[in-house]
Amino acid sequence: MEKELLMKLLSKDYLVLNFSSKVNFNSQINIDLISAINHSFKSLGFKIKDEELIKLLSISRDDLTSFYHDNYKLLSSLVGNSVKHKIFYANFPEISNIPEKEMYTRAFLHYLTASENDDGFISEDINDFEREEVHSDNKVSLKLINEQEANKILIELVKDMFESKQAISCDETNFILSCFQNLFDKENLYHLIDDIPFKENIAIYVNTIRKLYPNETKLGDVFNEKVLSFIKTPTDLLRVYAIISDGDYTLNDNSKFISLDRKCRRLFLVILNNMCVNKDYVYDDFSRHDFLWKKAFEKLHVGEYEKQYPHIYLVCKNIREDNYSTYYSMLEKNKNNQVGLISLLRKRPGEFARRLDMLLRNASFETEYTLQEFEKIADQVSSNVLLQLYTFFQNRNLYSTRIFCIKKLYYNSYIEVEDKRDDIPGYIIERVCVVILNALKNIYSSYPRIENVYLDESMKNYAMPMNSRNKSTGNKTLTFGTRLKLDEEDGSFIRFFTHWKNMNKGNDKRVDIDLSVELVNEDFTSTRSVSWHDLFGGRKFDTYHSGDIVTAPKGASEFIDLDYIKASKYYRYGVICNYVFTGQDFCDIPECFSGVMFMEKKGKRGVVFNPEFVKYKYDLTQYGSSENIALAIDFKTRELIWMDIPRSSGRMYQIASGDSGVVIALKNALKKQMNMYDFIKLHSSHLTFVDDISQSEFIISDKENATLKPYDVEKITASWL
Which residues contact residue 322 at a Cβ distance below 8 angstroms, ignoring those fewer than 6 apart? none
Can you tell me the mean pLDDT for 150-156?
93
Can you tell me the mean pLDDT for 109-136?
92
In a domain, 558, yes or no: yes
Can you tell me the mean pLDDT for 619-642?
92
Can you tell me the mean pLDDT for 322-327?
89
Q: In this model, does residue 186 exceed pLDDT 80?
A: no
In a domain, 471, yes or no: no
Most distant CA atoms of the chain, gap in Å: 85
pLDDT given for residue 440 in this prediction: 98
| 302 and 339 inside one domain | no
Q: In this model, does residue 684 exceed pLDDT 90?
A: yes
pLDDT given for residue 596 in this prediction: 95
pLDDT band at 488 (very low <50, low <70, confident <90, very high): low
In a domain, 39, yes or no: no
Q: Average per-residue pLDDT in the chain?
A: 91
| 349 and 391 inside one domain | yes
Q: In this model, does residue 445 exceed pLDDT 50?
A: yes
Domain closes at, from 325, 344, 361:
325
For residue 555, the domain's CATH number is 2.60.60.30
pLDDT given for residue 490 in this prediction: 47
In eight-state DSSP terms, residue 88 is S
| 349 and 263 inside one domain | no
| 618 and 503 inside one domain | yes
In a domain, 16, yes or no: no
pLDDT given for residue 241 in this prediction: 97
| 262 and 361 inside one domain | no
Percent of the chain with pLDDT over 90: 70
Q: Rounded to whole angstroms, how far apart are CA atoms 339 and 317?
A: 34
In a domain, 667, yes or no: no
Q: Rounded to whole angstroms, how far apart are CA atoms 121 and 183?
A: 49
pLDDT band at 21 (very low <50, low <70, confident <90, very high): low
In a domain, 44, yes or no: no
* Interval 513-564: pLDDT, tens: 999 999 999 999 878 889 988 877 888 898 999 999 999 999 999 999 999 9
More confident of the two residues 388 and 648? 388
Pick from 45-49, 52-56, 407-411, 609-613: least confident: 407-411
User: In the chain, how many H helices and how many E strands?
Assistant: 26, 19
| 396 and 310 inside one domain | no
pLDDT given for residue 664 in this prediction: 92
- Cβ(625)–Cβ(646) below 8 Å: yes
| 320 and 457 inside one domain | no
- Cβ(580)–Cβ(627) below 8 Å: yes
DSSP 125-170: TSPPP-------S--EEEEEEEHHHHHHHHHHHHHHHHTSSSPPPG
- The answer to whether the Cα torsion of 454, 459, 463, 467 is positive or negative is negative
Residues β-bridged to residue 629: 577, 645
Tell me the whole-structure pTM to 2 decimals: 0.92
| 483 and 560 inside one domain | yes
Enclosing domain of residue 527: 100-129+479-662
Can you tell me the mean pLDDT for 493-504?
95
| 432 and 488 inside one domain | no
Q: Rounded to whole angstroms, how far apart are CA atoms 73 and 660?
A: 40
Can you tell me the mean pLDDT for 692-700?
95
pLDDT band at 26 (very low <50, low <70, confident <90, very high): low
Can you tell me the mean pLDDT for 581-602?
92
In eight-state DSSP terms, residue 259 is P
| 497 and 633 inside one domain | yes
pLDDT given for residue 29 in this prediction: 66
In a domain, 456, yes or no: yes
| 501 and 457 inside one domain | no
pLDDT given for residue 19 in this prediction: 74
Residue 247 CB burial class (10 angstroms; 0-12, 13-18, ≥19): buried
| 527 and 657 inside one domain | yes
Domains identified in the chain, total number: 4
In a domain, 518, yes or no: yes
